[in-house]
Structure 1
Amino acid sequence: MLRCWLIAVAALVCPFSGEAAHACRVSVPLAPGDIKYADMVIVGRIENYKVIRDPVFRQKMLDSPALSPEMRRFYEDKNANLLSDYARFDIVVDQVLVGKAPFRLSVTWDNSTFAEPKAMDAGPYLIALRKADSSMPPLRGPSATIIPSPEAGLLTVLQAPCSSPFILASTGDEARAVREVLSARPR
């Protein structure tokens, strides 16, 4: 119920178009120190990436008699990006930096900042994950929307609202900065 309420408020507040859904008016840079919010940090490759559409919310909006023709066309488009859509994918783990991980795990990613990409390259990536029932992700943006995790049993990608997700090219500068933060923290 809370999820539907939050999505409805976001739908009313956020301007939509045929383009990707945007929940932030201002982007903020990724902060490597936010890695402290992660329950698991791994290096691995992405497989079976899929965007999961939210047909229940779409239908709820279409059932509204006050919906404008423009918004009706938007919600009728099964490929339109909504804030309540999310991605699910598997990670084949190459290295565990924090926590304990099996060889393969399924995770979710609710990119509340922008729409999820339709596809993802395999990687490898440095990926930080948090438990769906853990504390809120770090708050950095002045205009963020946070929607509860769509699949509470799975880990979800760590992402501060209005910032980039912790899905980082494993050999890139951001991943190096995260590794430096991890190496400096007490064990």
Structure 2
Amino acid sequence: MAAILSLSLSYPAFACAVYIPLDGQAAKSVDVIALARVERFRLVRGEYSARLDLKVERLMKGQVPEKLSVKWFPSLSGLPARVPSGRYLIGLQRASTMPPPRRGPNGTVLLVLGVAYLNVLQHPCSNAFLFKEDSADFRYMWKLLGFK
């Protein structure tokens, strides 16, 4: 019994009661969709965020320079310790753009209005619009968005 109890206590606590996957409406609402290479990932000290340096290889929506740095404010699920370098399908939203309304109980979205930088799209209790090229999520979102 003690072994079972200790195993159940070893899992991290999650603040999200309901997980809501990124849907097509939210994915299509972003300002920029790109196939980009993550060249550098770093946590921002003093903020609950990270910065990703990207090299855009293919732009599907919006306008951005070939090289840019974006911010990622994760949902309550937390930031990873690292993001492996490689190619990702990434959705970016201007900090001043209001995201579409969320369905379900996790509808609160925090924005830093009036700032010019781009953010990786991520609603609370949902996954980020940041899908590694060789993943099933990448293939699903690629197909959902109608890219060839």
Aligned AA (1:115): G
Partner of residue 170, structure 1: 133
Partner of residue 152, structure 1: 115
Identify the match of residue 21 of structure 2 among 29, 51, 55: 29
Deviations 1:6-37 (A, max 9, x none): xxxxxxxxxxxxx9785422212232342121
Tell me: CA distance 1:130–1:95, structure 2 relative to 1, closer, same or farther (3 Å).
same
Deviations 1:131-156 (A, max 9, x none): 11001354244145533239922100
Structure number with larger C-alpha Rg:
1
Partner of residue 39, structure 1: 31
In structure 2, how many angstroms separate the alpha carbons of the residues matched to 1:171 and 1:98? 21
Q: How many residues align?
A: 137
Which residues of 2 match residues 113-124 of structure 1 at below 5 A?
Answer: 113-124=76-87
Aligned AA (2:29): Y
Give % identity.
33
Partner of residue 77, structure 1: none
The structure that is helix-richer by fraction is 1
Identify the match of residue 110 of structure 1 among 64, 73, 87: 73
Aligned AA (1:154): Y
In structure 2, how many angstroms separate the alpha carbons of the residues matched to 1:23 and 1:145? 13
Partner of residue 129, structure 1: 92
User: Which structure's relative contact order is higher, taking Cα pairs within 8 Å and 6+ residues apart?
Assistant: 1
SS in 1 for 2:28: helix
Tell me: CA distance 1:118–1:34, structure 2 relative to 1, closer, same or farther (3 Å).
same
SS in 1 for 2:139: helix
Partner of residue 53, structure 1: 45
TM-score (norm 2): 0.77
Contact 1:46–1:92 (Cα < 8 Å) also in 2: yes
Point out where structure 1 has 5 or more consecutive residues left out of the alignment: 1-18, 55-83
Cα distance, 1:169 vs structure 2: 1.6
